[in-house]
Amino acid sequence: MTSIRSIDKGDRIVARQTEVEAPADELFAMVSDPHRHGELDGSGTVKDTVKGPKRLEKGSKFSVGMKQYGVPYRITSTVTEFIDSDTTKIIEWQHPMGHTWRWELEEKEPGRTTVTEMFQYGTAKVPKILEVLKMPQQNARGISSTLEKLARRYS
């Protein structure tokens, strides 16, 4: 069974981490392609209707069809950080309400990558509303499911 760890990254940040038996380059190719986000999603909210580039970079915008509580909607995000070096792979995008999703990948040994996914909502326009709606807890479950799904894919 996949081990998912809670990581303390600070106030109003939900972070989970796991090990995946795959090279960081291969995982980053999936995360940086918004057309593949449906493959990653463990929450059941991300749909395959995506508009945007095949490979994101800092400043890229992409739009994804979503469905939550039975209600379909579309969200457009902007990439706020993108690092693809030999040692560090990070991608972060911001939603219109100001909160961000962030992925950090570190290949600790060949073919084994530590993957961290974060929901950062302290930057949101109305973080308290997200707390009242229990979004941090809901997103914690979704992140854990996403990381479990990703790890299973490569096990």
The per-residue pLDDT for range 48-89, each reduced to its tens digit, is: 889 999 999 999 999 999 988 888 999 999 999 999 999 899
Dist. CA 25–CA 21, nearest whole Å: 12
Dist. CA 99–CA 120, nearest whole Å: 6
Dist. CA 55–CA 139, nearest whole Å: 24
How far CA 85 is from CA of 21, 26, 35, 81, in Å, comes to 19, 13, 22, 13
> What is the pTM assigned to this prediction?
0.94
What H or E segment, with its residue span, contains residue 153?
A: helix 135-153
Full set of structural domains in the chain with CATH: 5-153 (3.30.530.20)
Dist. CA 57–CA 67, nearest whole Å: 25
Below-50 pLDDT ranges, the chain: none
Contacts of 81 (CB under 8 A, 6+ apart): 58, 90, 91, 92, 102
